[in-house]
């Protein structure tokens, strides 16, 4: 009788402790990304890129209201940029072949994995 009461108390205690640990871990896992954003001391602002996007959106809206431009007009507007709408916005953030030296393409990765699978047999 006494042993069964002790077992019941221990089971309830273990259940309570496990539930508390689970709740604590869930709360901290949801709070961690928010805390990481607050602790980030970089100079990047959340609204910093918004100005470029607003300019791009305004230009897109303007071009959508006009007749389709001729090839010469498109080439003239595109000089020195990525495309007619973006201009050279975020051009430095794009990956160029020079940046990608030494990286393995997805095609090569898949080929290597397939070779491993076929040679493993």
Domain of 65, in residue numbers: 52-90
Helix, strand, coil percentages, rounded to 5, for the chain: 65, 0, 35
pLDDT band at 53 (very low <50, low <70, confident <90, very high): confident
Q: Can you give the pLDDT at residue 39? A: 58
**Cα-based angle 9, 10, 15 (whole degrees, multiple of 5):** 100
Domain contains 56: yes
Domain contains 27: yes
The mean of the pLDDT values for the chain is 80
Domain contains 37: no
pLDDT above 90: percentage of residues in the chain: 19
Looking at the DSSP bridge assignments, the partners of residue 83 are 87
Number of separate domains in the chain: 2
**Cα-based angle 78, 83, 85 (whole degrees, multiple of 5):** 90
- Measured in degrees and rounded to the nearest 5, phi and psi for residue 83 equal -155, 180
pLDDT digits (tens, 9 = 90+) for 30-52: 877 766 666 555 556 666 667 77
- Report, as an integer, the average pLDDT of 54-78: 85
Q: Are 82 and 88 spatial neighbours (Cβ–Cβ below 8 Å)?
A: yes
Domain contains 3: yes
pLDDT digits (tens, 9 = 90+) for 71-80: 888 888 777 7
């Amino acid at each position: 009788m006494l042993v069964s009461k002790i077992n019941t108390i221990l089971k309830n205690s273990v259940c309570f402790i496990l539930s508390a640990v689970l709740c604590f871990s869930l709360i901290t896992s949801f709070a961690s990304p928010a805390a990481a954003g607050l602790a980030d001391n970089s100079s990047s602002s959340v609204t910093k890129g918004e100005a470029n996007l607003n300019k791009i959106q305004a230009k897109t809206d303007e071009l959508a209201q006009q007749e389709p431009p001729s090839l010469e007009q498109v080439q003239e507007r595109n000089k020195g940029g990525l495309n007619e709408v973006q201009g050279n916005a975020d051009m430095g953030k794009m990956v160029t072949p020079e940046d990608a030296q030494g990286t393995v393409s997805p095609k090569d990765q898949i080929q290597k994995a397939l070779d491993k699978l076929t040679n493993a047999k």
